[in-house]
Structure 1
Amino acid sequence: MKKRTVFGFKAFLTGLMLVACSTLSAADKVAAPDFTLKSLTGENLRLSDFRGQVVLLNFWASWCGPCRQEMPILDEIHKKYEPLGFAVLGVNVDLKSEKAIDYLRGTPVKFPILLDPKSKVSEQYSVSAMPSTAIIDRDGNVRYVHAGYKTGDEEKYKNKIKELMRE
């Protein structure tokens, strides 16, 4: 039964990630798969440790132009909303973590960067485009997904973050 649930969730998220963006209602109750990844600081971080906060989970790679464009914007969003119970988690999928480290030397961010060089977590979330973003509510449910990035998408993120923080 568990495999069926995971397969169903993967198929569901795959469908969502294939569209530009999708909003899920609270009634949908699609639980975000929990995971633990090593951060750039060397500590292991677990998604469930952020329960009670709204979380923007962003999958990115150093070779991805739109990811590079989006990164400073995500840092600004993180700085603005973190005091209100919000977190950004950047999940880097580069095969070699050094590439992410090199990029971040020139574009430092304050939010945690997690390393997923074998793409295990991105597989759990059925990531099919770079960057890909999931916004998770305080109860740990995926409520919004977005594939890709173009200027202006951050307004969609901010609107969803504010909506979920009001719940």
Structure 2
Amino acid sequence: MRTETDSPPSIPPSPTRRRWLTGAVATGAVAAGAGWAWWRHSVGEMAPGANEAIWSQTFPGLAGQPAIEMAAFKGKPLLLNFWATWCPPCVEELPMLNQFYQAQRAKGWTVLGLAVDKEEAVARFLQRLPLTFPIAIAGMQGTALSRELGNSAGGLPFSVIYDKHGRVQHRKMGQLLASDLQNWASL
């Protein structure tokens, strides 16, 4: 016998309805993930005057090394890479950047790594993984600078490619691929 407090009998969803709901939830999850990935890896607009301002910047070198002036890099193609020792994709791409630098420097290219990190951590890291391209310490100022250059998410790694005239040709948020470097080498 049924009372007023009893819930009505439940009707199980049909297999068709269950599949439809499962598909809708999965599609929504994929769309949300794709949207987040797009936002995370998207490159925004550069702040007004950021491209001109970068060339007046000076960054501390590692202990015992002179400060690095950005103006010294004007006149040749430059791959400017924002990275940190605590960033796994950054660390993973550094050997490839080093190979790119060694292969392309005879053609006028240079690579500059701006570490968004502490000098002590970078020095310890470079003892384990020596790099032949110049490294400067940008510290937390590097995050603000990368945002001005269009890194809207403020994530790492972030790379900016300049032509020999000091103009931005490409920007990439996220880990570089060998194909990126191959495409950029012809600048």
Range class of TM-score, shorter chain: 0.7 to 0.9
Question: Share of identical aligned residues, percent?
Answer: 28
Q: Shift of the alpha carbon at 1:154?
A: 2.5
Q: Does 1:130 align with 2:156?
A: yes
Matches within 5 A, 1:143-154: 143-149=169-175, 153-154=177-178
- The 1:21/1:84 distance shift into structure 2, 3 A limit, reads farther
CA distance in 1, matches of 2:41, 2:162: 18
Structure 1 gap ranges (5+): 1-16, 23-29
Q: Shift of the alpha carbon at 1:98?
A: 1.0
> Which residue in the other structure is 1:14 paired with?
none
SS in 1 for 2:156: coil
> Which residue in the other structure is 1:3 paired with?
none
Which of 104, 109, 128 is residue 81 of structure 1 equivalent to? 104
Q: Shift of the alpha carbon at 1:19?
A: 4.1
Scaled by the length of structure 1, the TM-score of the pair is 0.74
Matches within 5 A, 1:5-154: 19-20=41-42, 31-32=51-52, 33-34=54-55, 35-40=57-62, 41-94=64-117, 96-117=118-139, 119-126=140-147, 127=151, 128-149=154-175, 153-154=177-178
Q: Shift of the alpha carbon at 1:104?
A: 1.1
CA distance in 1, matches of 2:130, 2:179: 22
CA distance in 2, matches of 1:161, 1:134: 13
Scaled by the length of structure 2, the TM-score of the pair is 0.66
SS in 1 for 2:51: coil
* Structure exhibiting the larger radius of gyration computed from Cα positions: 2
Q: Does 1:157 align with 2:181?
A: yes
Alignment RMSD, CA only? 2.2
Q: Shift of the alpha carbon at 1:18?
A: 5.5
Structure 2 gap ranges (5+): 1-38, 45-49
Larger RCO, structure (CA 8 Å, separation 6 or more): 1
Instruction: Indicate conservation of the 8 Å contact 1:57/1:89, yes or no.
Output: yes
1:44-95 deviations in whole A, cap 9, x for unaligned?
111121111100000000000001100111000000000111000000011x
CA distance in 2, matches of 1:85, 1:122: 28
Aligned length: 137
SS in 1 for 2:111: strand
Which structure has greater strand proportion?
1
